[in-house]
Amino acid sequence: MPLYMNSNKIELNVKNSYKKLQWTLQEQNEKDISFFTQKFNISDILAKILINRGINDAESMQNFLYPKIKNLMPDPFLLKDMDRAAKRIVESIINKEKIVIYADYDVDGATSSALLKRFFKDLGLEASVYIPCRFNEGYGPNVNAFEKLIKQGNDLIITTDCGTVAFEPIKYAQDMGVDVIVIDHHLALEKLPECYAVINPNRLDDEFKFKNIAAVGVVFFVVTAVRSVLREQDFFHKVENPEPNLIDYLDLVALGTVCDVMPLIDINRAFVQHGLKLINKKKNLGLKILANLANINKRSESYHLGYIFGPRINAGGRVGKGYLGSILLSTESHEEAHKIALSLEKYNKQRKAIESTTLEEAIECIKLKNIENNSILLAYGKNWHLGILGILASKIKEKYQKPTLVISLNDGIGKGSARSIKGIDIGMNISIAKEEGLLIEGGGHEMAGGFSIEEDKIEMFYSFLLSRVLGKDNHKTIFKQAKELKVDALISVDSVNNNLFDDLKIAEPFGQGNERPRFMISNAIICKVCKMSVNHLIIIIKDNIYNKSSKNLKCILFNAINNDKCSSIFKSIGKKINLIGYLQVNYFNENMIDFIIEDLSIGE
């Protein structure tokens, strides 16, 4: 296969890519590889992978291989308003004020509110949680909800994963004499709400080191600061409750971090690695029961957080019952946890059925509008289920590797969700569009956002986003890179063994910012092709059909049956194949390793 050098990568000249992608092999300096292998006693292949992740000095490598909370944890008081917020919360704790936590209806909101509730309970204070209905109230604080919470006698409102742009309801609460503390991570405007404190690393005036932190991570910083102030005031020697061990909350921090697609580097990596240890010890009752219902009988990984736990916890919010996830994660009642977990399992199955039908409609909408070749994709329809818009946007974005907007219309108003690719900050663009008067509401972060819009402004909003993307000097590079499959290393079939897989485990947890290592197997021989389940293919390959010691490798191509090229794969037994993908332990036999195919090319 011809190779083409391009700066620090080699372009692999693949003509028959199954997914029409450009394959590139990332190149590393041999001296760097040698330095890391000797200093940290790691294999060449692991050193290559970690260099590809941007780990290029000894300190970064040390922190990546051995991520310790105490080494990576920043001083929480470096966040703007933290000192003020921590002291106000301590005042509430000491005076036993009535506190309500107002959270978003997604996993980040559920984990944030559950963590705060558990923290207050450990201090002897029962805080309540309010999560708005997605359908009747929409995202974030609203005046009616705040009015109700104030009438209930709450002395302090703490918002989590929302509130940064909720100017009107927050001003209402403050005018009524109730303090509001915002704990959030969404992009802020220059103007901030008129409240007691806004803790948000993405405030424009905040120089805090870690910007890509989930709201639950920011909450962890807050409780760390609160505990510090309580220690200063000798609180724990005056009360019966022991000092909370904050490490015990990292299962929730890990779950929210992965499900909100934060990059798994620096402190986030430490959060998730330590949090997974707690999850695997079955410390959280709700997660333990959820794992049993989902038949997770092995060690949970970041995959399980994002694709097993996350969708089930989100399922409550998708049907207007976001409070279920928060209760599940904070309850100590086995009966209550089991009942909620069963409900979430049911709602998740309903979501899957609705999602399948609507996804087809959304893709058909894009095709009918003839915008498949545009830089941004837009799909909208009447009364699409609001709870699945984010999932639809994510799936379409993955299919086309382009920023995607999905909007549900009802009575002239559209509610939408957006997902983006690296290099195009969709949250910032939504915020600017709102300032320009194109949106009723809107916000988000770099890779995801939400908004509401008048139906007759949809095309104007779409044109606005297109012009901003096309106006970027590097937009061609951004979209070219989105179509690239970057290979970490070349491997052979015979090199796939438990030693290699054990090497890869050192780099876990995998996720956004620390993707699973991607390998290329070249010039293998197809020995067998068969169907797996309804939609998937199994392709058995080996390096050399004439060498009896050459072993077989089972490769899995998901969702292949309906692809136009599927029939040609069945006719290719005996031909050479090039594959790109990643290694995964066999679901039924942990002693076997499968190769999960991301792209392939036959007969080159």
> Do 443 and 392 fall within a single domain?
yes
For 537, other C-beta atoms within 10 Å of its C-beta total 21
Tokens 């805080």 -> residue: 127
Residue 28 lies in a domain: yes
**The model's pTM:** 0.88
Report the alpha-carbon distance of residue 73 to residue 299 in Å, rounded.
Answer: 26
Report the alpha-carbon distance of residue 388 to residue 385 in Å, rounded.
Answer: 6
Q: What's the confidence (pLDDT) of residue 318?
A: 86
Nearest to 326 by CA among 317, 339, 338: 317
CA-CA distances (angstroms) from residue 48 to 13, 255, 378?
22, 28, 38
| Rama region for 129: left / alpha / beta (φ>0; ψ in -120 to 50; rest) | beta
Nearest to 181 by CA among 92, 86, 85: 85
Amino acid type, 496: V
Q: What's the confidence (pLDDT) of residue 238?
A: 83
Tell which of 449, 478, 507 closes a domain: 478
Which residues have C-beta within 8 Å of that of residue 176, sequence separation ≥ 6?
150
pLDDT in tens, 315-325: 998 888 999 99
> Do 464 and 396 fall within a single domain?
yes
Q: What's the confidence (pLDDT) of residue 3?
A: 36
> Do 132 and 255 fall within a single domain?
yes
Mean pLDDT comparison of 1-15, 106-120, 445-459, 506-520, highest-scoring range: 106-120
Residue 256 lies in a domain: yes
Helix, coil or strand: residue 511: strand
Residue 513 lies in a domain: yes
Tokens 């830089």 -> residue: 375
Residue 388 lies in a domain: yes
Confidence category of residue 482, pLDDT binned at 50, 70, 90: confident
Confidence category of residue 12, pLDDT binned at 50, 70, 90: confident
Q: Is the pLDDT of residue 6 over 50?
A: no
Kind plus residue range of the DSSP H or E element containing 318: helix 310-318
Q: What's the confidence (pLDDT) of residue 2?
A: 38
Q: Are strands 22-26 and 9-12 parallel, antiparallel or unpaired?
A: antiparallel
Mean pLDDT comparison of 146-155, 285-294, 431-440, highest-scoring range: 146-155
For 604, other C-beta atoms within 10 Å of its C-beta total 17
Phi first, then psi: give them for residue 602, nearest 5 degrees: -110, 140
CATH of the domain at 518: 2.40.50.460
CATH of the domain at 90: 3.90.1640.30
Angle between helices 323-330 and 334-368 (to 10 degrees): 140
Phi first, then psi: give them for residue 24, nearest 5 degrees: -135, 140
Mean local confidence (pLDDT), 423-438: 92
Tokens of 547: 């060498």
Number of domains into which the chain is organized = 3
Report the alpha-carbon distance of residue 99 to residue 196 in Å, rounded.
Answer: 14
Q: What's the confidence (pLDDT) of residue 4?
A: 38
Tell which of 440, 455, 478 closes a domain: 478
Q: What's the confidence (pLDDT) of residue 236?
A: 92
Residue 358 lies in a domain: no
Bridge partners of 489, per DSSP, are 519
Maximum pairwise Cα distance, the chain: 82
Displacement of CA 479 from its chain's centroid (Å): 21
Q: Are strands 377-382 and 197-199 parallel, antiparallel or unpaired?
A: unpaired
Nearest to 329 by CA among 285, 383, 270: 285
Q: What's the confidence (pLDDT) of residue 1?
A: 43
Amino acid type, 462: Y
Report the alpha-carbon distance of residue 364 to residue 16 in Å, rounded.
Answer: 26
Tokens of 550: 């050459």
> Do 535 and 450 fall within a single domain?
no
> Do 334 and 196 fall within a single domain?
yes
Asked if 109 contacts 329 with a C-beta cutoff of 8 angstroms, the reply is no
Phi first, then psi: give them for residue 418, nearest 5 degrees: -130, 145
Q: What's the confidence (pLDDT) of residue 5?
A: 35
CB-based burial of residue 118 (10 Å sphere; 0-12 exposed, 13-18 middle, 19+ buried)?
buried
CA-CA distances (angstroms) from residue 151 to 79, 176, 241, 591?
32, 10, 30, 60
pLDDT in tens, 195-254: 999 999 999 999 999 999 999 999 999 999 999 999 999 999 888 878 999 999 999 999
Mean pLDDT in the chain? 92
Among 348-362, 399-413, 444-458, 473-487, whose mean pLDDT is lowest? Answer: 473-487
Report the alpha-carbon distance of residue 429 to residue 409 in Å, rounded.
Answer: 21
Q: What's the confidence (pLDDT) of residue 27?
A: 84
Which residues have C-beta within 8 Å of that of residue 154, sequence separation ≥ 6?
98, 99, 100, 128, 178
Range of the domain at 382: 370-478
Tell which of 435, 463, 478 closes a domain: 478
Q: Is the pLDDT of residue 334 over 70?
A: yes
Helix, coil or strand: residue 474: coil
Report the alpha-carbon distance of residue 246 to residue 248 in Å, rounded.
Answer: 5
Cis amide bond preceding 169, omega within 30: no
pLDDT in tens, 58-113: 999 999 999 999 999 999 999 999 999 999 999 999 999 999 999 999 999 999 99
Mean local confidence (pLDDT), 576-588: 90
Helix, coil or strand: residue 543: coil
- In this predicted model, which residue has the larger pLDDT, 498 or 84? 84
- In this predicted model, which residue has the larger pLDDT, 484 or 213? 213
Amino acid type, 274: H
Q: What's the confidence (pLDDT) of residue 470?
A: 82
Kind plus residue range of the DSSP H or E element containing 433: helix 426-435
> Do 497 and 474 fall within a single domain?
no
> Do 106 and 223 fall within a single domain?
yes
Mean pLDDT comparison of 105-119, 510-524, 553-567, highest-scoring range: 105-119
Q: What's the confidence (pLDDT) of residue 123?
A: 95
For the chain, give percent helix, strand, coil, nearest 5: 45, 20, 35
Q: What's the confidence (pLDDT) of residue 39?
A: 96
Percent pLDDT > 90 in the chain is 76
Asked if 129 contacts 105 with a C-beta cutoff of 8 angstroms, the reply is no
Phi first, then psi: give them for residue 522, nearest 5 degrees: -115, 145
Confidence category of residue 296, pLDDT binned at 50, 70, 90: confident
Report the alpha-carbon distance of residue 206 to residue 204 in Å, rounded.
Answer: 6
- HSE-CB for 142 with a 13 A CA cutoff: 14
Residue 355 lies in a domain: no
First to last CA, the chain: 7
Angle between helices 458-470 and 426-435 (to 10 degrees): 130
Mean local confidence (pLDDT), 128-141: 91
> Do 597 and 468 fall within a single domain?
no
Each residue of 26-43: b (16+ CB within 10 Å) or e? bebeeeebeebbeebebb
Which residues have C-beta within 8 Å of that of residue 207, sequence separation ≥ 6?
none
**Radius of gyration of the CA atoms of the chain, in A:** 25
> Do 463 and 533 fall within a single domain?
no
> Do 52 and 125 fall within a single domain?
no
Residue 155 lies in a domain: yes
Q: Is the pLDDT of residue 603 over 90?
A: no
CA-CA distances (angstroms) from residue 29 to 26, 50, 516?
10, 12, 21
Report the alpha-carbon distance of residue 158 to residue 166 in Å, rounded.
Answer: 13
Residue 352 lies in a domain: no
Confidence category of residue 297, pLDDT binned at 50, 70, 90: confident
How are strands ordered across the β-sheet holding 3-6?
A: 3-6, 9-12, 22-26, 484-487
Q: What's the confidence (pLDDT) of residue 8?
A: 65
> Do 556 and 439 fall within a single domain?
no
Q: Is the pLDDT of residue 15 over 80?
A: no
Confidence category of residue 604, pLDDT binned at 50, 70, 90: low
Which residues have C-beta within 8 Å of that of residue 314, sequence separation ≥ 6?
106, 107, 259, 325
> Do 568 and 433 fall within a single domain?
no
